[in-house]
């Protein structure tokens, strides 16, 4: 399965857990999403799927990725955990692949404190997911499901057909999530207002490269790759940000191939991961919020100016 080299662990671990091999591909230097040009170069007969990740709220180039999948008869899957509410044209991200995953962890766009969702319009896959989320049993399967069994109701309640999980949401989580969904348009709109401020403050700098928006990002956070006079200054930048109360993080997990866990995952890297390594060395991101954060964003610019001045 083809995956981007920059993402969170949950993109990679399920692929490994189902016995598939990861093929890591570099990301585009501007969008930070998987580079379709590089994807096309590494497709071989053993590739079955592409797992695209909408990084930090930013949609992938799905016109290109879907065309590639059609040409090579590949399945397109979508990791949309950081990008709830993002749009590309008239469609929301999470709806371009055979299925799309969403996260409702407490630090994301909406929260049920933990958990997530899977979107699909494939009925067979929907029935499979219903079973997988609840121990792999058939209790909740409708009569028309391919997993439904002709056994009496007493036995059917505890008939297991798939090696499943126990991932059913609690009722309180579902109730919180339903209320959060009603607020989502306003939450995303507020994040986009903050993003306009971020772009206006930092978008024209020659010592920072920010993420280029594709479609309408839902701006999970604000990525910065330090360059020019700020190249190699990430430790200084993060220390100063911390000192004024602004948290920062690596850009997701940086180049995932540089994480020690990679030795446990069957994988190959057919091309150099040039952009991912640049992100690993000089990348960071700061969080976004639906509250106004203009003062904090202005402070980020001032800190960058201060550190740049020391390196003139």
The model's confidence at residue 151, banded by pLDDT at 50, 70 and 90, is confident
Specify the residue for token string 């994480």: 259
- Cα 291 to chain centroid distance, Å, stands at 22
Interatomic CA distance for residues 105 and 100, integer angstroms? 16
Give per-residue pLDDT as tens, 160-190.
999 999 998 899 999 999 999 999 999 999 9
Q: Classify 271 as helix, strand or coil.
A: coil
Instruction: Return the pLDDT at 7.
Output: 98
| Long-range CB contact pairs, 62-68, < 8 A, 24+ | 62/88, 62/96, 64/36, 65/34, 65/36, 65/39, 65/96, 66/96, 68/36, 68/39, 68/40, 68/43
Q: Give the model's confidence band at 150: pLDDT under 50 very low, under 70 low, under 90 confident, else very high.
A: confident
List residues with catalytic annotation: 108
Q: Assign 148 a pLDDT band (cuts: 50, 70, 90).
A: confident
Q: What is the pLDDT of residue 149?
A: 80
Q: Among the CATH numbers 3.90.1150.10, 3.30.450.20, 3.10.180.10, 3.30.70.940, which is that of 2-115+169-310?
A: 3.90.1150.10
Report the chain's mean pLDDT, rounded to a whole number. Answer: 96
pLDDT score for 155: 81
First to last CA, the chain: 45
Binning the chain into helix, strand and coil, the percentages to the nearest 5 are: 40, 20, 45
**pLDDT tens column, 217-272:** 999 999 999 999 999 999 999 999 999 999 999 999 999 999 999 999 999 999 99
For the stretch 61-76, pLDDT in tens is: 999 999 999 999 999 9
Question: Is the pLDDT reported for residue 140 higher than 80?
Answer: yes
What pLDDT does 264 receive? Answer: 98
Domain ranges of the chain: 2-115+169-310
């Amino acid at each position: 399965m083809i995956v981007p080299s920059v993402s969170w662990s949950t993109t990679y671990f399920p692929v490994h857990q189902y016995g598939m091999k990861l093929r890591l591909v570099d990301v585009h230097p501007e969008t930070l999403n998987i580079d379709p040009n590089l994807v096309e170069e590494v497709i071989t007969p053993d590739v079955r799927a592409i797992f695209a990740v909408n990084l930090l709220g930013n949609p992938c180039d799905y016109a290109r990725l879907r065309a590639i999948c059609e040409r090579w008869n590949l399945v397109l899957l979508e990791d949309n955990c950081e990008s709830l509410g993002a749009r590309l044209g008239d469609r929301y991200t999470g709806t371009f692949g055979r299925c799309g995953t969403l996260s409702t962890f407490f630090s994301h766009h909406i929260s049920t404190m933990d958990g997530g969702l899977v979107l699909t319009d494939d009925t067979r896959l929907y029935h499979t997911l219903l079973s997988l989320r609840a121990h792999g049993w058939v209790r909740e399967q409708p009569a028309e499901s391919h997993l439904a069994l002709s056994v009496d109701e007493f036995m059917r309640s505890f008939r297991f057909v798939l090696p499943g999980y126990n991932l059913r949401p609690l009722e309180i989580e579902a109730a919180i999530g339903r209320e959060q969904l009603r607020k989502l348009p306003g939450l995303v709109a507020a994040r986009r207002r903050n993003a306009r401020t971020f772009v206006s403050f930092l978008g024209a700098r020659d010592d920072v490269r920010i993420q280029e928006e594709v479609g309408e990002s839902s701006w999970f956070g604000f990525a910065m790759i330090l360059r020019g006079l700020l190249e190699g200054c990430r430790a200084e930048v993060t220390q100063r940000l911390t000192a004024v109360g602004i948290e920062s993080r690596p850009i997701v997990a940086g180049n995932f191939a540089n994480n020690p866990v990679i030795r446990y995952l069957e994988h190959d890297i057919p091309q150099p991961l040039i952009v991912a390594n640049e992100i690993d060395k000089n990348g960071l991101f700061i969080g976004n919020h639906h509250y106004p954060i203009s003062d904090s964003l202005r402070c980020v610019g001032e800190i960058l100016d201060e550190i740049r001045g020391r390196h003139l």
